[in-house]
């Protein structure tokens, strides 16, 4: 609900509670703001509104200064996603002046569209979306624009003809991540004396149509074009999950007996691929038969490199919460914001002091 209206309602509720029966709980329950009737799919902390109405008069809630943010998250498919969700939940707290309404779409676009519509219905102040795939968003973004609710994109990109439908986008440079992976592979093979060797590769892609999948596949393709001795035997989607990654690698190992490199478009797919490689009686990592590389650089990927299973991981920073909050604060102050905002990213491999780096990692 718009902060101004909420503020008037809360003050009225507090006044009635004081003058009427004194039972703040009763008055608060009947006077709680509309967002307590949030639709089932939005994870709305139902008791928060009641708590807000009971809060001390000088709290942000009582004065209605909270900025309500509806966040349509992709799902909970990977360690990266968990870290990304945590970044939002630890940033958009009441202490920081926000009320977060969080929705987990379980990797389904139709659920994200439903969540966005419920945020519009609840008249949130901002809508943040991590779009599961790039296309199919124009209609619902037009509805948000019609309702006067600014939309901010986080993580993956939307392919829309009118970029005024969103205020800004924060995320990783996925094409660059793919190209950095290709360049690392070329150097690594050269160092192994295999720079001219015929190299057979397979790719376990992410969710097809997700900008992380589109960009990483494109970046790696750009590098394949630079190496005529590299051959991409096959590519299949592992849906960014460990289970599907293992399944796809099992099928690759049945189809091809001479795989030199597997490129996994996120760390969780790599964990599954490594299980499949070992189950097939093969080895992987710096001392193994198959080179395994992946994207994200979550803590478990460091543990896998330290264990000698994973060769390298290409970072995709999930800590978007503070960046999105910065954008909202600028919009609140009427300041211009950059439309495209890349996060800082690196890569990590087994030549590095991984234990020391891991000790400092935030995710």
> For the CA atoms of the chain, what is the radius of gyration?
24
Taking CB under 6 A as the binding criterion, the range among 1-9, 40-48, 75-83, 322-330 that sits at the site for ligand GZL is 75-83
Answer yes or no whether residue 266 interacts with ligand GZL by CB under 6 A: yes
Given 172, 178, 219, 245, the residue binding ligand GZL (CB under 6 A): 172
Closest approach of Cβ 42 to ligand GZL, in Å?
21
Answer yes or no whether residue 77 interacts with ligand GZL by CB under 6 A: yes
Taking CB under 6 A as the binding criterion, the range among 17-25, 78-86, 220-228, 279-287 that sits at the site for ligand GZL is 78-86
Answer yes or no whether residue 214 interacts with ligand GZL by CB under 6 A: no
Taking CB under 6 A as the binding criterion, the range among 58-66, 72-80, 193-201, 329-337 that sits at the site for ligand GZL is 72-80
Helix (H, G, I), strand (E, B) or coil at 349: strand
Answer yes or no whether residue 155 interacts with ligand GZL by CB under 6 A: yes
Answer yes or no whether residue 199 interacts with ligand GZL by CB under 6 A: no
Tell which positions 293-322 bind ligand GZL, by CB under 6 A. 295-296, 316
Shorter beta-carbon distance to ligand GZL: residue 54 or 177: 177
Cα-flanking dihedrals φ and ψ of residue 353, to 5°?
Answer: -80, 80
Listed residue (120, 94, 93, 117) closest to 105, CA to CA = 117
Answer yes or no whether residue 153 interacts with ligand GZL by CB under 6 A: no
Closest approach of Cβ 10 to ligand GZL, in Å?
37
Given 156, 223, 244, 323, the residue binding ligand GZL (CB under 6 A): 156
| Cβ atoms of residues 290 and 277 within 8 Å | yes
Please tell me the count of residues contacting ligand GZL according to CB under 6 A. Answer: 15
Closest approach of Cβ 248 to ligand GZL, in Å?
15
Which residues have CB under 8 Å from 56's CB, separation 6+? Answer: 62
Closest approach of Cβ 213 to ligand GZL, in Å?
8
Residue 331 C-alpha from the chain's centroid: 22
Shorter beta-carbon distance to ligand GZL: residue 80 or 98: 80
Tell which positions 1-30 bind ligand GZL, by CB under 6 A. none
Distance from C-alpha of 292 to C-alpha of 263, rounded to nearest angstrom: 6
209 φ/ψ sector (left φ>0, alpha ψ -120 to 50, else beta): left
| Cβ atoms of residues 22 and 28 within 8 Å | no
Shorter beta-carbon distance to ligand GZL: residue 13 or 273: 273
Answer yes or no whether residue 171 interacts with ligand GZL by CB under 6 A: yes
Answer yes or no whether residue 154 interacts with ligand GZL by CB under 6 A: no
Distance from C-alpha of 76 to C-alpha of 317, rounded to nearest angstrom: 16
Burial class (CB in 10 A: 0-12, 13-18, 19+), 60: middle
Answer yes or no whether residue 158 interacts with ligand GZL by CB under 6 A: no
Q: What is the DSSP string of 172-196?
A: --HHHHHHHHHHHHHHHHHHTT-TT
Distance from C-alpha of 103 to C-alpha of 43, rounded to nearest angstrom: 5
Shorter beta-carbon distance to ligand GZL: residue 14 or 168: 168
Distance from C-alpha of 96 to C-alpha of 325, rounded to nearest angstrom: 10
User: 208: how many CB neighbours lie within 10 A of its CB?
Assistant: 13
* Contact footprint for ligand GZL (CB under 6 A): 77-78, 80-81, 155-156, 171-172, 210, 212, 240, 266, 295-296, 316
């Amino acid at each position: 609900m718009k902060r101004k209206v909420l503020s008037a309602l809360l003050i009225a509720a507090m006044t009635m509670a004081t003058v009427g029966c004194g039972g703040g709980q009763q008055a608060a329950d009947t006077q709680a703001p509309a967002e307590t009737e949030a639709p089932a799919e939005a994870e709305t902390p139902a008791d928060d509104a009641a708590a807000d109405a009971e809060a001390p008069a000088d709290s942000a809630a009582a004065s209605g200064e909270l900025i309500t943010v509806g966040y349509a998250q992709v799902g909970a498919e990977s360690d990266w996603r968990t870290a990304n969700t945590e970044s939002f939940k630890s940033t958009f707290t009441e202490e920081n002046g926000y009320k977060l309404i969080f929705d987990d779409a379980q990797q389904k676009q139709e659920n994200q569209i439903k969540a966005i519509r419920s945020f519009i219905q609840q008249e949130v102040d901002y809508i943040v979306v991590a779009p599961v795939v790039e296309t199919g968003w124009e209609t619902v973004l037009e509805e948000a624009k019609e309702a006067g609710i600014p939309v901010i994109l986080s993580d993956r990109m939307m392919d829309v003809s009118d970029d005024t439908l969103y205020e800004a986008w924060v995320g990783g440079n996925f094409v660059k991540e793919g190209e950095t992976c290709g360049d690392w592979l070329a150097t690594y093979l050269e160092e192994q004396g295999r720079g001219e060797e015929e190299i057979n590769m397979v790719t376990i892609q992410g969710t097809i149509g997700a900008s992380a999948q589109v960009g990483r596949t494109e970046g790696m393709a750009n590098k394949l074009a630079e190496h005529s001795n590299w051959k991409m035997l096959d590519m299949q989607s592992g849906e960014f999950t460990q289970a599907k990654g293992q399944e796809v690698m099992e099928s690759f190992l049945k189809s091809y007996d001479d795989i030199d490199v597997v490129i996994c478009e996120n760390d969780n797919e790599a964990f599954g691929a490594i299980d499949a490689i070992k189950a097939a009686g093969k080895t992987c990592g710096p001392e193994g038969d198959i080179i395994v590389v992946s994207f994200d650089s979550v803590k478990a990927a460091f543990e896998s490199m330290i264990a000698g299973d994973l060769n390298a991981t290409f970072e995709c920073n999930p800590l978007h919460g503070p960046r999105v909050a910065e954008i909202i604060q600028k919009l609140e102050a009427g300041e211009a914001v950059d439309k495209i905002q890349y996060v800082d990213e690196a890569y990590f491999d087994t030549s590095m002091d991984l234990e020391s780096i891991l000790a400092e990692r935030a995710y």
